[in-house]
Amino acid sequence: MATSDFQQLLRESALRVTRPRLAVLGAVHSHPHADTDAIIRATREELPDVSHQAVYDVLRALTDAGLVRRIQPAGSVARYEARVADNHHHVVCRSCGAIEDVDCAVGAAPCLHPSGRHGFVVDEAEVVYWGLCPDCSAAGSEPATTSRGRA
């Protein structure tokens, strides 16, 4: 995706087009499921002097605008992805924290009938599959080198 596309995305969401925003948007698009720190580093490859605060602000703005999605499996720091509004879910590795996309198992719309439960007005069903990624699974119960644990 080109810079001009990102510019358009921003404008369509009534967001000002700034260099930090373009850089962060690019970073999120090229690093799916990256955590904030990784995004800061990726952003700085393009724009060496962005402050971490700017990245936090931008991620919040982009999330609020729906241009990126924030995901945060239990025990993990915040992560961001660019796939939005297509109702997919995630598998998370208990051992190394790796995340992969999983398309909705049951159908298009929210996978489970989410309405009228206990009087709650439900607008989204989020599914997280927990398990072991191929690497950690192959490594048996040996601690993975990338180990992060779950809690």
Partner DNA sequence: CCGTATTCTGGAACGAGTCAAGAATACCTG
Partner DNA sequence: CAGGTATTCTTGACTCGTTCCAGAATACGG
Cα(2)–Cα(35) distance, rounded to whole angstroms?
22
46-to-6, 21, 27, 40, 62 alpha-carbon distances in Å: 15, 11, 9, 10, 18
What CA dihedral angle connects 65, 2, 25 and 74, to 10 degrees? 90
- Nearer to a second copy by Cβ, of 1 and 78: the residue is 78
- Which positions from 54 through 83 interact with DNA, judged by CB under 7 A? 54, 56-58, 60-61, 72, 77-78
Residues making up the binding site for Zn(2+):
93, 96, 133, 136
CA angle 129, 77, 131 (to 5 degrees): 20
Nearest approach, Cβ of residue 16 and DNA (Å)? 4
Report the interface residues with a second copy, using CB under 8 A: 60, 63, 70-72, 74-75, 78, 91, 93, 100, 102, 105-106, 111-114, 117-134, 137, 151
| Contact between 16 and DNA per CB under 7 A | yes
Question: Could you list the residues that contact DNA (CB under 7 A)?
Answer: 11, 15-21, 35-37, 49-54, 56-58, 60-61, 72, 77-78, 151
